[in-house]
Chains A and B, each alone.
Chain A
Amino acid sequence: MLGWELPPHNSGGLGVACFQLCKSLASNKMDIDFIVPYEADHSIDFMNVIPAIPQGVDSILKSGIAYDSYKYIYSNGKVKDFNIIDQYHAYSFAASKIAETREFDVVHAHDWLTFRAALLIKQKTDCPIILHVHSVESDRSGSEDGNPMVKEIEETAMLMADVIIAVSNHTKNKIISDYNIPENKIKVVHNSIDVIAQDNNSLVNSYEFLKYMKSRGYKVVANIGRLTVQKGLPNFLKAARRVIDVNPKTYFLIVGSGEQYHELVDLAAELNISDKVIFTEFQRGQQWRDAFKIADLFVMPSVSEPFGLTPLEAIAFGTPSLVSKQSGVSEVFKNCLKVDFWDIDEMSNLIASSISSDALLEELSNRAYDEYRVMSWQDSTDKLMNLYRHHKTLAEAAR
């Protein structure tokens, strides 16, 4: 398997999805080599996590959070920083080199950064390649345009792939409309989530101010995620303005970092709601968990969200969600509120109306938790293993 990140060294949902999916595959007796572009301890025992380190390099360390940079430490003592594009090239060759030394039936690659490596391996070994699309460039850029180089990589790789896995119908439709890939080559395998019992009764919360204001009858609406165009946060702030108009006792908590940070802070000021919008930077651990817990409603207003794990993470903490209809998770998660990302009127109506009914928040939370409780990766794993078997058989027949 070719991947770009695994927890705890992940910047977002991609690493979490890869980790949980592989864990489920491993529990179904799949042998997995997982090649990542950096060296780190993941404390993973169910598969081999292999760093893609070229000859002459001692170590590759990952630094930065969102779209990271990589520190190469050479055998001769030199140190050099690679940006994401350098690293993409280096990974492609290093990973395909490693593949020469391993035995495997299928190559399964996650997102564009690993696609070229997959193509190189196919050239050398003629083994089937499965491309797993967690997002396409038009999702990430929040527009039709995006980076032309990335689009070229995605298009070429998808044309060459034996089969493409999309994490939602939303993503499948994007692949078809962006790249004209024949529909029958794309299989939808929805993401899921490993159910973890969270301690939702703790009285301590990192957001002491919000806790205090809640005791005075205020409500907290949160978004947790990267601050990028894809995530649709300007509409969320405009909706926040309208919510505060009708319900001044509302705070908005925005947890995350990203290139839109300053633009969003400016917008909040322009809308004259800076006092009610709290920006924290990217958080991990307790602060991350407490943000979900302190919220009465979690909002994922994404312009385009291939899957979108955060609403499922939120309900693990008992917090119900409003999600955009342009998200994969809205295809599988029933007990949440749904809205078109562009419909600011309705977004503000749903936020204001829902937080004014404790009965609704309670029922929505309970029903959503019932749904969450029975989620598992097994269905997705079964689909994948069938694909593996099928393409292995086809490849053997062709030899």
Chain B
Amino acid sequence: MNDKKSIVLYLHVHQPFRIRHYTVFDTAINSDYFDSAFDSKASNEAVLKKVTAKSYIPTNTILLRLLNRYPEFRFSISITGTILEQMEKWAPEALRSFQELVATGRVEIVAETYHHSLAFFYSMSEFETQVQMHEDKINQLFGIMPQVFRNTELAYNNELAKWAEAKGYKGILAEGWDPVLGWRNPNFVYRPTGTENIALLLKNYKLSDDLAFRFSDTNWSEWPLTASTYSHWLSETKDVNNINLFMDYETFGEHQWADSGIFDFLEHLPAEWLKNTQHDFKTVSEVIDSSPPVDEINVEHTVTWADTERDLSAWLGNPMQNSAINNLYSLTEKVHETDDLSLIEDWRKLQTSDHFYYMCTKYFNDGDIHAYFSPYDSPYEAHMNFMNAYRDILYRINRKGIDTDG
């Protein structure tokens, strides 16, 4: 057993290639789905540059300083192929700052699909290709091989764990959702049902969401939250081996703005936590290496880290989302027959889960988080845009002499 109480901080870095306002009159004429005007809400370049300035650069500056100041400080990130491509194109300084972090040897990169897709649920061969593409990209840009896997949106079940074990990963990440845990708590290393050689790390969503969702909420009873108070909560938490704080990277500076004090918080957290010599930080691999699983966790139905339902309904909850994704994956075989790499890549970029998230109608009436992150006026426009692009893919395949009806 781990002799110390560890914070396992894991940050997820991702941006999709948003589809521009792409109309029925563009289909079969233009295939530039992802090229929005810079002043449009769907401009990938504009969003990336904004988030780079607000979040990536200031956060990486702090994280690098912390790594230099505290030899015990370490954490893990996952970073998708789609955002790496965007950084190479539009924000090389952001990419460099991530490379600097990883070069310290104390920042671990977690494996996932290149395109932040839900391919696991639709096409196993496509899924495996995208995981391989991601591994190649990470190896090329950072010179390391990921050891631990996370699926898009932390979408997890027993079958995925078995797959990851077979692929040789030492660990896999999931949401520490109460119905999954039963009487257990998320603060230990577990073993997925049906596996022998892979560990399961579960997000402590209460403590993670204090930062990711509640930090700047002035109506929250704990507002304003300081690093010393938060560190105190963590120390007081009983029955703990490791506290898994999993969240979007953009929590720092984008979801929680700089004026909320989130950067100060981050800057002071390691010092507060390390005041106690029984405390440390670990990457996901380190905690798995040092702590054998204490029990088995059985997840038959897919669990994700989204919404109060913690299922896939934010992406696949209504007929628009289902028809869009089913149509897209129905082309899997035919699109590969074309051997047209740029066509296949466009098709893959349409698999990014964000496209389906924008079509979510669950909370449209309340104007909540789903609406906030969407570049479209409504889930309906998101769907129409997507389908017009999908039909262009369909057209391109047929133009290659491959009959999609056959």
Contacts and interface: CB of A to CB of B under 8 A. Distances in A.
A and B part of one assembly: yes
Interface of A: 242, 246-247, 334-335, 337-338, 345-346, 348-350, 352-354, 356-360, 362-364, 367, 370-371
B24 A349 contact: yes
B398 interface: no
A363 B384 CA distance: 12
B243 to A, nearest CB: 40
Given A335-B364, A337-B381, A356-B387, A363 B24 contact: no
B364 A338 contact: no
Contacts of A338: 377-378
Contacts of A371: 365
B324 interface: yes
A359 B324 contact: yes
Contacts of B324: 359
A357 B361 contact: no
Contact of A367 (B364, B377, B388): B364
Nearest to A353: B384
A337 B2 CA distance: 56
A359 B383 contact: yes
Contacts of B387: 353, 356-357, 360
B319 A350 contact: no
Contacts of A346: 23
Given A335-B364, A367-B361, A349 B383 contact: no
Contact of A334 (B318, B320, B364): B364
Contact of A360 (B25, B27, B320, B364): B320
Contacts of B318: 359, 363
B343 to A, nearest CB: 22
B380 interface: yes
Task: Give the dominant DSSP class at A's interface.
Answer: helix
B323 A353 contact: no
A353 B320 contact: no
Contacts of B23: 345-346, 349, 353
B322 interface: yes
Interface in B124-141: none
Interface residues of B, number: 23
B364 to A, nearest CB: 6
Nearest to B366: A334
B319 A363 contact: yes
A54 B46 CA distance: 69
Nearest to B383: A360
Given A338-B378, A357-B383, 5 more contacts: A242-B25, A356-B24, A358-B323, A360-B383, A367-B364
A368 to B, nearest CB: 10
Contacts of A358: 319, 323
B46 to A, nearest CB: 21
Nearest to B25: A349
Contacts of B319: 358-360, 362-363
25 contacts: A242-B25, A246-B27, A335-B361, A335-B365, A335-B378, A337-B381, A345-B23, A346-B23, A349-B24, A349-B25, A350-B381, A353-B23, A353-B24, A353-B385, A354-B380, A354-B384, A357-B320, A357-B323, A357-B384, A357-B387, A358-B323, A359-B318, A360-B387, A363-B383, A367-B364
6 closest pairs, A vs B, by CB?
Answer: A353-B384, A359-B323, A349-B23, A359-B319, A352-B24, A359-B320
Task: Give the dominant DSSP class at B's interface.
Answer: helix
Given A353-B384, A364-B380, A367-B364, A246 B322 contact: no
Given A246-B24, A367-B364, A337 B323 contact: no
Contacts of A246: 24-25, 27
A352 B28 CA distance: 15
Contacts of B24: 246-247, 348-349, 352-353, 356
A350 B24 CA distance: 8
Contacts of A359: 318-320, 322-324, 383
A350 B384 contact: yes
Interface in B369-406: 377-381, 383-385, 387-388
A237 B384 CA distance: 21
Given A337-B378, A357-B383, A363 B320 contact: yes
Nearest to B365: A334
A337 B387 CA distance: 16
A338 B361 CA distance: 16
Considering residues A350, A354, A356, A357, which has the most beta carbons from chain B within 10 angstroms of its beta carbon? A357
A335 B320 CA distance: 14
A359 B359 CA distance: 11
Interface string B315-340: 00011101110000000000000000
Nearest to A335: B364
A367 B23 CA distance: 23
Interface string B331-361: 0000000000000000000000000000001
Contacts of A349: 23-25, 384
A352 B25 CA distance: 9
Contacts of B378: 334-335, 337-338
Contacts of B383: 357, 359-360, 363
